[in-house]
Structure 1
Amino acid sequence: MSMVSNQNTRSATLLGLIAVIFWSTLPIVSIYTKGIPPFLCLSIAYFFAFIVHMIYWKYKYGSITLKFKQPLNYVLTYVIGIFSSNATFLIAMQHGDPVLSYLVSNLWPIFALFFAAFLFKEKLSNLHYIGAVIGFIGVIFISAKDGGMSMKGEVLFGFMMGFLNSVIWSFVSVINRKFSDIPADSVGLPLGIISILAFVTHIFVEGSTVISTQHLLAIMYLGIAPWGAAYTIWGYAVRFGDVKAVMLFGYLMPLLGVVWMILLGKAEFSMNVLISMILILVGASLGSIKLFLKNSK
């Protein structure tokens, strides 16, 4: 029984890595949505995410309305958490230096580890602390260029929004465990509500625009993968996997984001990037090595 449980824990933990891979494509996909107002983009993407979840509900439960009845605290937590997380991310990327903003938004695994320790009495080992520090240094290397960046004005505002984004998302990721009795695919309902909220926000604060086929395809991908399926996969991973290992997988996000940009010719490979890859991989693996050693016995 213990062996089966360990195997399930390992499988759930690895699902967290799949979600991270989906999310790592956000920087490169955002290039193909350039020119689309951010809240309109959010609205359409989450509409597709909601549709995908309804199709899944019909396949799994035989009903597309069964999941419309969810506990209010669950719905509010996800609507407020996901909406504010993505809003702060978009604002951060539009202000100041986008690399610096993206850097600080990817510090969320550090906050998540300590949120988990505080809220769920998760014990952190020395490996977790070391892995967090090494991963943080790796993220710093990715952002370092031209001797560093000054922080003032718009750059500072973008940094603050990115910092807020990392805190919000780390909390939402960890608080997932409070809802372990609710199926992870139930997140489809909050995503549908977010689509409506984003559209209302778009009407009041953004102007109209024309959406091309390329824009629509990119937004559809966002709704199906990083802003759709990834939330369900991530929810399952943090509930039934090793939450400390899952959070440290988050360090792979900026690493993979840079890799996608290099492969698609949007960034150049350098020794700086190579050093970052090594540090982030080491940092992420240190936090999860105990889990896999234990389960392999």
Structure 2
Amino acid sequence: MSRASNLPACTGVGFKPAHFRDILAAAEPIGFFEVHAENYMGAGGPPHAQLGVLRERYALSVHGVGLSIGSMRPLNRDHLVRLKMLCDRYAPESFSEHLAWSSHDDVYLNDLLPLPYTQQTLGRVAEHIDEVQTALGRQMLLENPSTYIRFADSTISEVDFLTEVSKRTGCGLLLDVNNVFVSAKNQGAQPLSYLDSFPLDRVKEIHLGGHDEETDDVGAPLLIDTHGSPVAEAVWALYAHVIARTGPIPTLIEWDNDVPDWHTLRAEAVAAQDILSGASRVPAASERP
């Protein structure tokens, strides 16, 4: 591994082609853009033409959804080769993936599925991350998942699992605050307790997104991580709690479904930037105790 994650400590958004013209016309730029790796694994065409223009102007985060880091089977070598070509082509400031699995043999599932937290899965995830970081020649960030169930086989807490993976591999962590809130509420846990035990010194990027509130088959509340709505007030409060402890960390607004217009999306990024800027501001002498 030779290149560490190095996004600017400001806010960014996920790039949507429908916003391309508005982005180029924007008087006030955003901090960085994120793209999903699998959308840019072709050789050319409009996606690459647009991304090339953005790359000339902005920092870039590449976010993978298809490596299946948590699978007990070997990584797909062809997929990894295509990912390396993409990262070599655009030299992003950051690359990240999920603590999840999404494939079985040659079948790719349109979801990020959870895994039990055991010594066996810990070793396998660490092996996969070592393989990815060696192939790419860069640090990978590992994102905490949104979960809806607990595995009876799990013997390690999620926070301890992520901490140990990061220690073994040198990977950074991507803290998705909405995922923390969704998982905690679904499992009857406290999101603040989770965050206060999280290894924040290993966090290189934060994600914020929206979720839906539904009910399960027995009428109990169920939160779904949908990325299709504004960030909830409770998630903003958790984010502010984290930033008060860490100082500014690169922060991405995720909005992938029911995507709004550019100005609405950018307003979410501005709200996050206000929290970042407040954390980095040194109080005037008259404000100090």
> Higher RCO, 1 or 2 (CA under 8 Å, sep at least 6)?
1
Do these two structures clear the TM 0.5 threshold for a shared fold by scoring above it?
Answer: no
The structure with more strand, counted as a fraction of residues: 2
TM-score bracket, normalised by the shorter chain, equals under 0.3
